[in-house]
Every structure is written in C-alpha cells, then in structure tokens.
Structure 1
Amino acid sequence: MKRYNVHKVFHRRINANLLVFSVALLLATVANINFWSALVHAVGGFSLARLPLLAGSLLIVVLLFHALLIPFSFRFVAKPALIACLVVASASTWFINEYGIVIDKAMIQNVFETDLREASELLNWRLVLFVALTAGLPSLLIARMQIRFPSGLRGLGQRAGIFAGALALAALLLVLLFKTLAPAVREHRELRYLLTPTNVVQALNGYLRNRWSTPVALQQIGRDAVKGPRWAGAARRTVTVIVVGETARAANFSLDGYARPTNPRLAREEGLINFARVQSCGTATAVSVPCVFSVLPREQYDDSMAKHQEGLLDVLSHAGFRVLWRDNNSGCKGVCDRVEFVDMAAPSPGKPHCAGDECYDEGLLEGLPDLIRQPGKDLVIVLHQKGSHGPEYAKRYPAGFGRFGPVCRSSEFSACSRESIVAAYDNTILYTDHFLAQTIDLLRQAARDADVDTSMLYFSDHGESLGEGNMYLHGAPWMFAPDEQTHVPMMLWMSDGFSQRFRIDRACLQARRDQPLSHDNVFHSVLGMLNVETAVLNPKLDLFHACVRN
C-alpha cells in the first residue's frame, strides 16, 4: 500500500488565484448560512422550480467575493488578508445566528462605544469553538500553505482578467435573474446586512467615515433661551430628573398591558402619567441617546450633524439651569460633553448597590438628596440607567428582584429556553419599576422638606427582541426593526407644587396618554414643561403646550 507523507500534503503548493477562489467559495457558503436562509424565505421558499434562481444567486456571490479578494492575492498580503476575512466572517456569522441581529453602521458604532464589561458578556466558549472550527482550521491551513504567486506583468494580467471576468459573469447572471431576484431584495432590505463579510466592511466604512470626518465647528442653538413668565415671583427652586432607560420595551410593562405584574409600585403611584404609544428614534443606545436629546427629528437625524450641534442639555444651560449627568451605562454618547458628568458605573470596594463588577441602578440615587438641598440654580439631573441591557439580564438586578423564573443566567441564548430569557428580562423591568418608584419617593420627600418643586420624566432609549421571529437583543436597522425594538415606555411624575407653578393640567396630559408620540417630542416637551422660551422650541411637538392653563 502506498504511504502518504502528511507533511508534504500539508505543504502542497497552491496557486494564489485558486486559493482566493477557494476562500471565496467558503465565505459564500459556510459563512452565510443565515443569508441563504433569509433569501430562500424572501423568494417564497425552496422548491425545484426555484433551484436555478438560488444556484444562480450563489454563483453571483461566489464571483463577487472572488473579484473582491483578487486584489489581495499578492505575496505578503494574501495570507493575513484571507485569514482576517475568515475570522471576521466566522464571528459575524455566530452573532447573527445566535442573536438574530443584522450588522450595519449603527451596530458597529454600538460595538466601538460599548464598555468592556458589557462586551465581555457576549464572549463565551461556544463563540470561541465556532470561530476555531469554521475560521481557525482553514486559517491554519492557509498559514502553512506554500502559495505560488503569478509574477510580473503576466501575473498582473491574470489577476486583471480574473477580476474583470468574475464581475462580468456576475453582472450577466444578475441581468438574467434580475426580474425575479430584484423584487425579493427590494422587499427584504435586511439581506444586505446579512451577507458577510461585506456587511462588516460596509458598516465599518460608514462608521469610520463619520468618526474621522473633518472637524466641524460646534453649531450653537438656543442661545436665546430664557425662563418664561411662569417663573415670575417663584420663591422655590425646581429639580427635574430625566431618567434615560436602557433596553426597556413597552411590551413588557404591565402599565402598558403586559400580563405579568412588572410594575407593581408604579401602578400604585398617584399622579403618574404613562404614555402608552411612544416610538424610539433608534434601536441602539449609540443612535437613540444622541437623537432624543437633539433638536433634529428622527427623519432628519444624522449622527455627524448631531455630533456638531448643541442639544437639549445645552439649551437648558443657556436658560440658566445647572445640568448634571449621572451615568451607570457606557457614557452619554457626546450628549453631556458640555455639562457636569459623573460616572457611577465602576464598582469599588465598599461602594453600595454593587455586586462583583456590576453596579445596580439604585447607585444613581446615592447622594441625590444632599445635591438637591444645595442652594443655587434650578437643577436638571439626567440618570442614565443600565436598565435591561442584555444578554445577561440576570446581572441587571439584585437577588431580591428575581420574582419571575426560572431565569436564564447565560449569555448563550441557545442554552436557555425562551421562557427563561423572558423571565430574566421581566425581572429587570421589575427592578426598573422599583428604581423609578424610589426616584419619585426621593423627589416627593424633597418637595416636602427641601422647599423645591420636583418632577421626573422617564423614557427608554430603545426596546429589545426576546425571540420573536428568532430575533434577540436590539440594533436592527430602524426601517425594518420589529415593534419590540422601537415601542418604548415613557412616563411623567410631577409634585403638586411643580404642576401648580407651571399651570400644567394633569387631566389634559392624561387624555393624551394613548396618542402616538415619539422621541421627537422629548426635546420640545422638556423645554415646554419648564417654560423655557427659545426660537428652537416647536410647540407642535411640545406635549405640554395644549395643557397649560392661564
């Protein structure tokens, strides 16, 4: 029997163009299972009649990938470039498959702007094993291979011919299949965010272009802001707390009709006004937080433009308020750059309301009564929650709030039942209920003892998918994001002194609880509630405008 030398087989020489084609084929197939599953669904399901369409689509993707990789088929470039493509594609495939996400610019922005503690929750042995098998083994083969690189003008000509030929054949197939394929792609725009690694490259390019764009001078807005006539003769200071929730979806608030009693304390809160139909500006913190504090409406919102323009907190400062941001999340995304900022997310020895590397949201209330009693300007305090941030929902609340169960305690959703994932998430909403009720109690006490008029506005930055349509977490492009990611809770509480001072009709606001609202209303409503007069205030978006009595 003939004996094979494994060492020689492992080091067999291979033409660079053939290697590139092999990697393109691997990327188009193994790394894009989710894309092909979505495409099959988009064209109406698998059948023999659709086999030519699906086979042609596969060939188009292979040819495009081959053409795109040909420029990397040179010595010293080929191996690192091909290995990088395999690793990126493998990791992307795992996250898409595990959490049902799609990869776009907002998702990449979320990755770069999420702190290390949050990011570490997404790393586990199954991810490492998947990447090792689907990218590590092929990468090891590539690293050990001896590659023949066509040289000189002949080599350049070969590469140019392959590049042009692959694109030409892909274009021809696209023309032949266009009539059937185009409607499916047009109706299912999420497909472009599932094709990896091109989705990562496009998203990263968009993010870096915004990040490294030419610096633009900060556009000032609301410099004319002043306190209006309802402030005249007032002897008491005001304290307004804006609570920015994290990943809380309205669908799991019992105040909004959810079957589980996730809001037992808020349900008993007299004078609380709950707005039931509120849409978020984005589906990720990195988009929604800057957007909600921007004067730009969602349809006109642009991250780069908002980054170089003053926002709500600046206008309040111009009007004479002291503005403070307290953070238990991953920062304010530029919103609080020109006001006081306190990072309360980092645990330290002896720090209350912390366990291990996690600090619970109640820590945001530490020292707040003393801050409120300090004489000086009227206060606007923003509390940025950790809220219901996933995937490890069970870390977001103290043990005493694990009322619903059994709960998923893993970041690997595939290792948990959907019921246990929802139970853990519901416990985070139960804890948010407690946190908001504690905030209201503190403000109510301050109104009695500290001679101030107080109010609280709460809204979540975005929602969360919990397995509906096999989708988890958040960050889906807004144009086709499910309602679970865009329908968010919002509620308002005012002390009697606050509503009387600003002549706000509570019954009028209660009557608006079921009207369709959005994050677009927040900027203008906060100014309207505090009777701040400025040219940038749009009365049509001010919830309070029609509810102020003379």
Structure 2
Amino acid sequence: MKFKPLPRLGAPLLPLYASAFLVLAYNFTFWKTFALATGGANLANAPVYAGAFLLLVLLFNAILTLLNFRFVIKPVLVLLFIGASFSTYFMNQYGIVIDSSMVQNVIETDVREANELFSWKMVQTVTILGILPAFVVWKLPLEFRPVRRDLLAKLGIVVFSLLAVAGLLLMLFKTLAPAIREHRELRFLLTPTNMFQATHGYLKRKWATPLVIAPLGTDASRGPKWAASAASGKHTVTLIVVGETARSMNFSLNGYSRDTNPQLARQKDLVNLSNVSSCGTATAVSVPCVFSDFPRDDYTAEKARSQEGLLDVLRHAGFDVLWRDNNSGCKGVCDRVRYEDLSQPVAGDPLCNTEECFDERLLRGLPEMIRNAEKDMVIVLHQKGSHGPAYAKRYPAAFGKFGPVCQTNELEQCSRESIVAAYDNTILYTDHVISAAIDILRAAAEEGKADTSLVYFSDHGESLGEKNMYLHGAPYIISPAEQRSVPMMLWLSQGFRSRFGIDNDCLGARSKQPFSHDNVFHSVLGMLNVSTAVYNPKLDLFHACTRGT
C-alpha cells in the first residue's frame, strides 16, 4: 500500500506549526492548572487563554526557528515529539510534574521498577502523540530558500516573534504575574520546556559531584555511658529500617480506619511518632538527605555528595555498619560501608518470585548475625515497602486482607478504592516485617546476646488519588501532605534503655510532637551515645528523655 505524498511545506512554517502542536497536544495538565490559577475556566477569561496560547506558540516558534536548518530541524522535532509524549503521559496519568528530581528518579531507578510503569495506555499515548507526529515530520518535504534569504527570513521571524511575546506579556502581565507567582508548579508542567529544565538541573548536579569526599565526624567516639556498661560484655545491635513510600495516614497506629498495624499494635514498648515530615518526596532525595547532617532547608544533593554522612560517623566511632538492600540501592549513602543486595530473585527462594523479593528477605540470617557479632553493629534494612504503581506485587498473597485490589500498574483501569486497598495491604505487610524484626531483637536481648534497638521511618509518602494525584515525586514546595507525612517508630530493649539511660515513657509522651527527617542523624548518634562535634542535641529526639544529659 502506497501512501499519498505529503504536500511540500515552506520551511519557515514548520516551526510555527510544530509550536502550535506542542502547546496544544502535550499540555493538558498545564492548561488545567493555568485555568485554576487565573480564576477558573469561563468565557470572561477567554482573551487571557487565547493570549497565553499565542504567547507560548510565538516563544516556541522563535526558539525552533533558530534551529530551522536542513538536517537539523527534523531530528530536533522528532526527539521533541517523542520525549513530550512520554512527559505528557506520566503527568496526565499520575498527576506528577517533571523536575530535576523526577529525572533523577528515572535515571537511577532499576529495570524492574521501570517495567512497572509500562502499560498499553503508555504505548498508545506515545504512538499517537509521539511516533505518528514524528513520522509525519520526518516524511514532510520542505522547501528551503537560498541561504542569504533564509537567514534574513529567520532573523525577521525571531525578532517579530519576540516583540510579539513582549507585547503580549505587557498586555497580560496583570493576570500572568500573580498566577505564576502563586502557582510555581506551572513551570514544571509546561511541556517541553519542563524536560529541558529538569534535565539541565539534574546534569548540573551530577557533573558537579566532587572528586574528593570531605570527612565528617572523624572525632566520633563512644560517650561515657559505654564505659559504665562495658562490664556487661554485651554488644549493641541497632536496626535502622528505611521504609519505602509509606505514608503515615494509612497506619492504624495513627488513627486510620483499617487495621493495618495489628502486629505492631501488640508490640510492648513500641513508641510510634505520628507527626513526622520527610525531607523529600522521592527516594533519590530523601535517602541521601536523611542520612546527611544537613537539615532539609539547607540540603542539596551537591552538599550531600560532597561529604560523608551518618553511616560514616558511626564507622568512625567503631561500629560495624551494614546496609542490606531490597530496593534500588542506597543512593550513595552506603558507599563506604558493607553492602548486601538482597533484591535479586533466586530460583526456589520462597521469599522471591521471578521479578523481585519480598521484604522479609531482609530479616534472613539476622538472628545468627546478632549472635555472632564481634563488634557493636548498626544494620540498615532498605525496604521495597509500598512502591507503586504495582502495589499488589509488594506483598505475599497471605497479606491480601483488604480488597478488591488493583492488580495492574495501569491505575486508570482501577477504582480508587481498589488502589487504596492494594496499598493498604503493603502497609499490612510492612507491619508484619517490622514486628518480626522487633521479635528478633527482643529474643536476642532476652537471651543475653545483645542490647538491641530499632528505628523505623519511611523515605516519603504517596498520593493515592487525592486531588487526582498519584504516586510521589512532586516538588516539595507544592507537594501534598500525603507525600510528605511519613511514619516513624522506635523500639528499645530494656537492656538498651538501661545502658543509655533512656526513659521510654518520656518518649511516649513526645509521640505527637512534630519531628522530621532532620532529627534522624542526631537522634541515632544520641541514642548510641556517640560523642562528636557534628552532633546537635537540639535535633536529638532522645535528648530530653535521657538521664544524665
């Protein structure tokens, strides 16, 4: 079958048509948000929408005209259309925005996580909005003028377009200025500029990675309480459990209507902190942040990469530090300590399937590890937790208590209730994993093998359809509470509390006070009585409940 040849098009018109197509076809989320920012979609605002549309088309036209050369413009538009189709799919499907953190998530995720985002709807969107327009542009015959006339025409088009943009800005400034100032998320929603802005931000951070890591807490040593308890001859073992995508409002310990924490609710001496905020809304941000000594307001990825973190300070203080991972890596924070990757499926392992392993695998061998410890240990367990959108894959069938559940990663095929049910089952399974970890620590303490403790917190939360948002990764400044409010729990054996003089009742009395990831670095040092100049007692949530401080 032969296709009818496409009509020839004057080359100067291609950037204009492409610009109009970009602004119209890929920016549903942008225009919806813009309408809300300017008083709602109504006839009275039609001139504003028309002016904003024309402004963006002319701005894009000026930029693309600068690239409108033979052998250049077509490859550029092909890449733009295909990239923009992916961008618009994820924004429309999950309510996310495209920023540097999202680019980092895409680049640093593993193949299994990436596969979960694949769906036939994505294929359809990319085909219709990406591949087909790209094919048309590639096959379109263009008529280019002689070089001198072509350059003069380009100059005229760019100057006219920019002057028109300036005029429209002056006319619409009274409306646009407050809308853009009050709705900063608009710059993350405009496709394709959001892709370039986000990629530039990510590469700028990536290329700025220092070659030399500055040491931190090299003065770290055991405090006086270690000498007082040395006669016992028992080691200490502390588990730091890093949850994934768990939001506090779906924990029944925090008042959620479903009983998602039946096992933890029965754990004696558990302290549940119900008012905790995360450092970021994505793993690639929160994990490096929480293990750094920078508070969220002063944190940047560049700073975190430029110096050592909490695990290094503990290593300087003489602890044996181990990171056990069932996720997509530690994002650089465990580069200088022992590391075990438990995420790779093993044939015949009942805790694995063909694609991934369940979080209980993180607990395998822990009793023997504690029993045979020759040094005081800090073990980090990095969960797969509640990572979406395929929530139903995160837990064994026995924990499918709530239902019906969404069994696909194509969330548009599921009711919100079934999505939440699947997510709640992941929390139920996390409840089991943490409770089982506490049982291991309690047994070791009762056998006299070690003084044990556990700290659990999630890296960030998750949107489950609130305001039509799903998943996570929204820029922090505009992120909803569902993506920032995270669970946090503490459990200390009686021997651990006695050794370090920690009052559990006092901790319980502070359970509703506001805390954040900022507290983790200093609280771990405080609970283990590590003396170092980088320790800040004001951020140590144990400090007010520790005798002798």
Q: Same fold (TM over 0.5)?
A: yes
Are 1:109 and 2:104 an aligned pair? yes
Query: Percent of pairs identical after alignment?
Result: 59
* Aligned partner (choices 382, 392, 403) of residue 390 of structure 2: 392
Are the equivalent residues in 2 in contact too, given 1:373–1:450 (CA < 8 A)?
no
Using the TM superposition, give the Cα deviation of residue 195 of structure 1 relative to its aligned residue in structure 2, in angstroms. 0.4
The CA distance in 2 between the partners of 1:497 and 1:176, in whole Å, is 72
The CA distance in 2 between the partners of 1:43 and 1:6, in whole Å, is 48
State the Cα deviation string for residues 321-360 of structure 1 (Å, max 9, x = none).
Answer: 0000000000000000000011110102123411121200
The CA distance in 2 between the partners of 1:300 and 1:160, in whole Å, is 44
**Which residue is 2:525 aligned to?**
527
Are 1:538 and 2:532 an aligned pair? no
AA in 2 matched with 1:505: D
Using the TM superposition, give the Cα deviation of residue 451 of structure 1 relative to its aligned residue in structure 2, in angstroms. 1.6
State the Cα deviation string for residues 486-524 of structure 1 (Å, max 9, x = none).
Answer: 000000001110001001011111111011100000000
Are 1:55 and 2:53 an aligned pair? no
* Aligned partner (choices 128, 131, 134) of residue 133 of structure 1: 128
The CA distance in 1 between the partners of 2:322 and 2:277, in whole Å, is 26
Using the TM superposition, give the Cα deviation of residue 12 of structure 1 relative to its aligned residue in structure 2, in angstroms. 2.1
**Which residue is 2:547 aligned to?**
549
**Which residue is 1:146 aligned to?**
141
The CA distance in 2 between the partners of 1:50 and 1:11, in whole Å, is 38
Using the TM superposition, give the Cα deviation of residue 153 of structure 1 relative to its aligned residue in structure 2, in angstroms. 2.5
**Which residue is 2:442 aligned to?**
444
* Aligned partner (choices 40, 50, 61) of residue 66 of structure 1: 61
**Which residue is 2:490 aligned to?**
492
Residues 241-390 of structure 1 correspond to what in structure 2 (within 5 A)? Answer: 241-390=239-388
**Which residue is 1:179 aligned to?**
174
State the Cα deviation string for residues 112-131 of structure 1 (Å, max 9, x = none).
Answer: 11101001111111111111
Using the TM superposition, give the Cα deviation of residue 389 of structure 1 relative to its aligned residue in structure 2, in angstroms. 0.1
- For structure 1, which segment, 198-207 or 75-84, has the greater mean C-alpha deviation from structure 2 after superposition? 75-84
- Helix, strand or coil for the counterpart of 1:189? coil
- For structure 1, which segment, 60-69 or 326-335, has the greater mean C-alpha deviation from structure 2 after superposition? 60-69
**Which residue is 1:76 aligned to?**
71
Are 1:169 and 2:167 an aligned pair? no
- For structure 1, which segment, 208-217 or 123-132, has the greater mean C-alpha deviation from structure 2 after superposition? 208-217
**Structure 1 gaps, min length 5:** none
The CA distance in 2 between the partners of 1:414 and 1:400, in whole Å, is 26
The CA distance in 2 between the partners of 1:260 and 1:326, in whole Å, is 30
Using the TM superposition, give the Cα deviation of residue 216 of structure 1 relative to its aligned residue in structure 2, in angstroms. 4.0
**Which residue is 2:212 aligned to?**
217
The CA distance in 1 between the partners of 2:146 and 2:377, in whole Å, is 70
Are the equivalent residues in 2 in contact too, given 1:297–1:520 (CA < 8 A)?
yes
The CA distance in 2 between the partners of 1:60 and 1:67, in whole Å, is 11
Are the equivalent residues in 2 in contact too, given 1:352–1:363 (CA < 8 A)?
no
AA in 2 matched with 1:60: L
Using the TM superposition, give the Cα deviation of residue 220 of structure 1 relative to its aligned residue in structure 2, in angstroms. 0.9
The CA distance in 1 between the partners of 2:469 and 2:190, in whole Å, is 17
State the Cα deviation string for residues 244-265 of structure 1 (Å, max 9, x = none).
Answer: 0000000100001100000000
Using the TM superposition, give the Cα deviation of residue 377 of structure 1 relative to its aligned residue in structure 2, in angstroms. 1.2
The CA distance in 2 between the partners of 1:526 and 1:546, in whole Å, is 14
Alpha carbons of structure 1 residues 174 and 278: separation in structure 2 relative to 1, 3 Å: same
**Which residue is 1:25 aligned to?**
20
- For structure 1, which segment, 177-186 or 142-151, has the greater mean C-alpha deviation from structure 2 after superposition? 142-151
State the Cα deviation string for residues 15-69 of structure 1 (Å, max 9, x = none).
Answer: 2221111111000011111111111111111222211111100111111111121
State the Cα deviation string for residues 264-294 of structure 1 (Å, max 9, x = none).
Answer: 0001111000001000000000000000000
Are 1:189 and 2:184 an aligned pair? yes
**Which residue is 2:195 aligned to?**
200
Using the TM superposition, give the Cα deviation of residue 543 of structure 1 relative to its aligned residue in structure 2, in angstroms. 0.7
The CA distance in 2 between the partners of 1:147 and 1:116, in whole Å, is 40
The CA distance in 1 between the partners of 2:124 and 2:43, in whole Å, is 35
**Which residue is 1:124 aligned to?**
119
**Which residue is 1:37 aligned to?**
32
Are 1:97 and 2:92 an aligned pair? yes
Are the equivalent residues in 2 in contact too, given 1:372–1:450 (CA < 8 A)?
no
- Helix, strand or coil for the counterpart of 1:10? coil
Alpha carbons of structure 1 residues 268 and 217: separation in structure 2 relative to 1, 3 Å: same
State the Cα deviation string for residues 58-97 of structure 1 (Å, max 9, x = none).
Answer: 1111111111212221111111110111111111111101
What is the aligned residue count?
545
AA in 1 matched with 2:7: R
Are the equivalent residues in 1 in contact too, given 2:209–2:305 (CA < 8 A)?
no
Task: Say what the alpha-carbon RMSD is for the aligned residues.
Answer: 1.2
Are the equivalent residues in 2 in contact too, given 1:10–1:141 (CA < 8 A)?
no
The CA distance in 1 between the partners of 2:199 and 2:129, in whole Å, is 22
State the Cα deviation string for residues 346-387 of structure 1 (Å, max 9, x = none).
Answer: 102123411121200000011111111224210000000000
The CA distance in 1 between the partners of 2:335 and 2:66, in whole Å, is 42
The CA distance in 2 between the partners of 1:318 and 1:453, in whole Å, is 21
- Helix, strand or coil for the counterpart of 1:22? helix
AA in 2 matched with 1:112: I
The CA distance in 2 between the partners of 1:381 and 1:126, in whole Å, is 41
AA in 2 matched with 1:175: L
Alpha carbons of structure 1 residues 81 and 333: separation in structure 2 relative to 1, 3 Å: same
The CA distance in 2 between the partners of 1:531 and 1:214, in whole Å, is 32
AA in 2 matched with 1:147: L
* Aligned partner (choices 453, 456, 462) of residue 454 of structure 2: 456
The CA distance in 1 between the partners of 2:209 and 2:276, in whole Å, is 35
Are the equivalent residues in 2 in contact too, given 1:327–1:364 (CA < 8 A)?
yes
Using the TM superposition, give the Cα deviation of residue 448 of structure 1 relative to its aligned residue in structure 2, in angstroms. 2.2
Using the TM superposition, give the Cα deviation of residue 476 of structure 1 relative to its aligned residue in structure 2, in angstroms. 0.4
**Which residue is 1:13 aligned to?**
8
- Helix, strand or coil for the counterpart of 2:401? coil
- Helix, strand or coil for the counterpart of 1:324? strand
Are the equivalent residues in 1 in contact too, given 2:236–2:377 (CA < 8 A)?
yes
Divergent runs of 4+, >4 A: none
Are the equivalent residues in 1 in contact too, given 2:264–2:431 (CA < 8 A)?
yes
**Which residue is 1:419 aligned to?**
417
The CA distance in 1 between the partners of 2:539 and 2:245, in whole Å, is 24
State the Cα deviation string for residues 129-159 of structure 1 (Å, max 9, x = none).
Answer: 1111122221111111111223422212221
The CA distance in 2 between the partners of 1:449 and 1:354, in whole Å, is 31
Using the TM superposition, give the Cα deviation of residue 109 of structure 1 relative to its aligned residue in structure 2, in angstroms. 0.5
- Helix, strand or coil for the counterpart of 1:73? coil
AA in 2 matched with 1:50: N
Are the equivalent residues in 1 in contact too, given 2:251–2:260 (CA < 8 A)?
yes
